[in-house]
Structure 1
Amino acid sequence: MPIWKRNLIVCWFGMFVTGVGMSQIAPVLPLFIKHLGVHDASEIAQFSGFAFGVTFIISAIFSPIWGAAADKFGRKPMLLRASLGMAIVIFCMGFAPNVYVLIGLRLLQGIITGYGTACTTLIATQTDRDHAGYALGTLSTANIAGSLLGPMIGGFLVENFGMQDVFFITGALMFVAFLTTAFFVKETFTREHKQVKKAKEVWALIPEKSLTITMFVTFFVLTVALYSVEPILTVYITQLTYNLSHVALIAGITFSASGLANIFAAPRLGKLSDRIGAHKVMLFSLIAAGVIFIPQAFVRNPWELMILRFLLGLTAAGLTPTVNILIKKITPAAITGRVFGFTMSAGYLGVFGGAVLGGQVAAWFGSRYVFIVTSALLLMNAVWVYFNVYKKLHLKPIQT
């Protein structure tokens, strides 16, 4: 088996568990915070929102820093640091004596993140041009699926094991990811003779600046779209069904439908990108995703919404691989980790921004308008991609 394939398998598992570890706390937080001694409903809501969001904001700040460290010291050391660090921190959350210690640990979790950045950089630099789309497409399913399935997994663990055990089990899985990384990931790292330290130097080395910015924005918009419905999904399903006893289960399945579709479609769309060009798959995926959001605002029952969320996952699966493929092609080797770090930052900000957007739009206009606004964002991004990426690369393909 080629080294890149073996590394891809290990990284996929690690990124999936990392995604679960970042997001599984969502349905657990209000209950766990109440367990820690906070009983006022408004305080529980405030602490829950802050404890969930702080990890993603801090991760957005530190991802480029760990990306730079990956360029300097190698990708495997960063994988080991992040997986072991997250295993310890998440495990310790189960012993948090109060809400302030819990928030501090969530903040620390955001600081030590960087597993996804190092994995993406490792696979991108090891994989040859003919297999890059398939490899990056497969890898992209791990983080998205882990993040989207995380809340459902967290809820399942609470139901069957208990609140504290959620952290213990997730921490144990992260430790397994650390062990598999230590024993099975192979990397021959050659440090660049001239190290790029300053942000201005990094920016100067990027040959396609406009294209790179477009990739960051596209990845941000994608994650906003995927997470804009998270704060309103349970309320929306409550409005669509009379069977209130299973609302939480239906909401979890509906939210996770996009992740399941992503697992199925991303490797195939990655392969298609290798054949016909990443820019073509990206444009089609943006338009299709934008269109599929519109009927979600007019569904009559949860099952229609579930089907549409699954179709959304099929189309969104074409975006993360194409972003990573184009970044791999236009980024010099000396700064690959740093640029992928900025991409991950855009994703983390998108998770936070999507949750804020969905909550605010629903509060001001109603739940159905969240889908309309998100559709408009995707379609506007598609127009920008058409003029700034598709037309440009259609006339002059990137030479690698």
Structure 2
Amino acid sequence: MQLAEVVLNGGALVNDKLKKGVEGRKNTFNLLNKGIKPSDKTLWFHCASLGEYEQGLPVFKALRDHFKNHKIILSFFSPSGYEIRKNSPIADVVIYLPLDTKNNAKRFLDIVNPELTIFVKYDIWPVFLIELKKRQGRAILISAAFRENQSFFKWYGKPLREALFAFEHIFTQNEESKNLLKSINYNHVTVAGDTRYDRVTNQLDIDNTLDFIENFKDDKLCVVAGSTWPEGESLLINFINEQANKDLKFIIAPHQIKQEKVKQLQSQLQVPSVLFSKKEKYDLSEAKVFIIDTIGILTKIYNYADIAYVGGALGQTGLHNTLEPAVFGVPIIIGKHYNKFPEAKALINNGGMFSISSQNEFNSVLLSMIKNKDLRLQTGHKNEAFIKKNKGAVVQILNYLRIL
């Protein structure tokens, strides 16, 4: 941890994201002291980043509604979670979790003293969790997904294994994770599935209308490319410039929305395009490409997709959320690096998603979906049905906590 602190502080000098995390952690205990009194009853939710927050949100909301008189502390490790959700309505105090040292763990738990702690997926902090167990604090891990090559299951992984035993119960996404836990004699396990299926299903219960997207789409076939990175954008731009017919529309939502990055993306297009930030100045129906240089609306935009491309898996940045388009019954294209994402494997095996690794493969899959309406609808329906089949993790977790 001392070495990690040196590395983070050094990295913060040249990296804005690391700088936000380092500066944010300096303010953690001030926020806790201001937001919590010794007499307060509390719950503590921890997420590595934004994806885990979205994953845990259905459970967080249910606990927020049930424990109306409790203070809720929401902690993040990554700035990409904290900066976007620091004003989350499900929490009373939102913080960066301090580095995993004994002094930080004791100081944190002295202030927070949670009645219940929930960690999401995989972000395990051994010192905090072992200290919590010493104090007989309740903790559960939800939507856990383990792999055989992780340190928990190696001969040198004893400290991390101890942290797992600090959880009174672990809810896994799959049988493989349950069996790995059993291999280290951890047996308080339920295969509940992934809470993200519940999260995205809830999206269907809200109004997903976006008038400006309707104006842009203009009843034409629309490809939505979500959370894109340069390697995927290159494939899209080449296809748009060389292959796309006049009745096809594209919406691109880059993961990085810094002005210079967006301008560079737009400059490579040889067809009419418009930015979200400039949409009031243009007739959107006249544009062929709509670039979304803002955050927070991609999930609703997928409602207008006929075909979706989800970024991250062509490079090494990690696949972004494929369940968000799947719930709307949309066929999906992703890159080749998806082995660490169980939901992607499942959607591919179910026939609703396609993995590509080259421009030719991308063009071939996309053109087949564009030209064959029946194939497009059948493929999308497989995704929709798969989401419905796999929801229900939240109910199992809440039943265990006896709040249903």
Q: State TM-score, norm by structure 2.
A: 0.29
Q: Which has the higher strand share?
A: 2
Larger gyration radius, structure 1 or structure 2: 2
Normalising by structure 1, report the TM-score.
0.29
The higher relative CO (CA closer than 8 Å, separation ≥ 6) is in 1
Q: Which has a greater percent of helix?
A: 1
